[in-house]
Amino acid sequence: MISFPSKQAQVQTTIFTKMSALAAEHGALNLSQGFPGFDCSEELQALLAFYSKGHNQYAPMAGVPVFKQSIADKTSLFYGIDLDASKEVTVVSGATEALFCAIHCCVFPGDEVIMFDPSYDAYDPAVRLAGGIPIHLSMDAKNGFQIDWEELARTITPKTRAIMVNSPHNPTGSIWTENDLEALAEIVKGTNILIISDEVYEHIVFDGQKHYSVLLHPELRQRSFVCGSFGKTYHITGWKIGYCLAPEYLTKEFQKLHQWVTFSSATPLQYALSDYLKEPSHYLGLSDFYQRKRDLFASAFEGSKWKLLPSHGSFFQCMDYQEISDEKDVDLAERLTKEIKVASIPISVFYEKAPGDTILRFCFAKSDEVLLEAAHRLVQL
């Protein structure tokens, strides 16, 4: 073996990979890793088949122009925000890439990047790889995973380069309100702090509520990278395609990084999605679609010992098992996968310092049969 220092000595394989592998090994219903248990529409499949003829070479580095325009048009329709498709939109190979490039194009060694735990697992390692220092603030389950704005204000230092935002939130399903945008804007006003906003679940918000993108607040928009993904919106997590929306000066820096990471994203996918995006009903119906699944899943736990936490958006349901077991969440998730054959995600892995909560995350982007069968097994505990 060649002596080689690990660049990520503390980093392990992601919990999603681990739990999906364990689910497969034990033949468990996989409600762990967040991906739909059903196919994308036949219309989208047909578009991809159509565009796979004659579109098999590199796409332009920042994205196929008609696709960037379709993304800008969707943003205009959905948020009432007009973007310059040629200067403010970049097509990427999934939001994971968008997050990585956004972090790496602005974080210098020693810079602090604030994130709110439980935080999606891709943020911290990307900051560290850039030489930055992740600063983890905790959100409290008892408080509905709300952000403590006073604590955030106290945490900001001259070294704060960026704040990571994520609404609808993975893993908790909490969402931001207009007041949250206002509170963040008030704190960053007059500073050079950038915002990296992970909005991959922008089209999955329940109970008639609305998604408040940072794009909607001028103070935030001028300093934000907004990371989006078609994986969640069109049931195509395997296509790995998304976008980054940012003002021109940020987009320029973002694209300098993107050109070295993937250069460009798959061309036929871009043409297919460009056409598909033109029909708004394809994403406008998504909240209702998932709300029905959330409610179906939840109804199966009525009268059980599981305590369901509110899920306002995303396709995740967090459930407290305090009355069922005193095991650690990691141990329980593993045991349930092996014994009753239902896989979930333990919440503690999304914290720098886990608060000792007894919460598992279940993905309800599954067929009704799978959801009911999983619930049936879980309520018997």
Residue whose CB is less far from ligand GLN, 170 or 213: 170
Would you count residue 242 as binding ligand PMP (CB under 6 A)?
yes
Provide, rounded to whole angstroms, the least separation between the CB of residue 225 and ligand PMP.
13
Identify what 274 binds: ligand GLN, ligand PMP, none; CB under 5 to 8 Å per kind.
Answer: none
Collapsing DSSP states into helix, strand and coil, what is residue 361?
Answer: strand
Provide, rounded to whole angstroms, the least separation between the CB of residue 243 and ligand PMP.
10
Would you count residue 132 as binding ligand PMP (CB under 6 A)?
no
Would you count residue 198 as binding ligand PMP (CB under 6 A)?
yes
Would you count residue 93 as binding ligand GLN (CB under 6 A)?
no
180 Cβ partners below 8 Å, 6+ apart?
A: 147, 167, 212
Task: Report how far residue 333's alpha carbon sits from residue 360's, in angstroms, rounded to the nearest whole number.
Answer: 7
Would you count residue 94 as binding ligand PMP (CB under 6 A)?
yes
Identify what 132 binds: ligand GLN, ligand PMP, none; CB under 5 to 8 Å per kind.
Answer: none
Would you count residue 173 as binding ligand PMP (CB under 6 A)?
no
Which contacts of 133-138 are long-range, i.e. CB under 8 A and separated by 24 or more positions?
133/159, 134/352, 135/160, 136/351, 136/352, 136/353, 138/351, 138/353, 138/355
Q: Are 28 and 343 in contact (CB under 8 A)?
A: yes
Of 154, 153, 114, 156, nearest to 132 (Cα)?
A: 114
Q: What angle do CA 140, 119, 188 make, to 5 degrees?
A: 85
Would you count residue 34 as binding ligand GLN (CB under 6 A)?
yes
Provide, rounded to whole angstroms, the least separation between the CB of residue 229 and ligand GLN.
9
Provide, rounded to whole angstroms, the least separation between the CB of residue 229 and ligand PMP.
3
Which phi and psi (to 5°) does residue 194 adopt?
Answer: -95, 160
Q: Are 308 and 317 in contact (CB under 8 A)?
A: yes
Residue whose CB is less far from ligand GLN, 34 or 63: 34
Q: What is the pattern of x (binds ligand GLN, CB under 6 A) and - over residues 151-190? A: -------------------x--------------------
By CB neighbour count within 10 A (0-12 exposed, 13-18 middle, 19+ buried), where does 116 fall?
A: buried
Q: Out of 170, 172, 264, 344, name the contact with ligand PMP by CB under 6 A.
A: 170
Task: Report how far residue 33's alpha carbon sits from residue 236's, in angstroms, rounded to the nearest whole number.
Answer: 14
Contacting positions for ligand PMP (CB under 6 A): 34, 94-96, 120, 166, 170, 198, 200, 229, 231, 237, 242
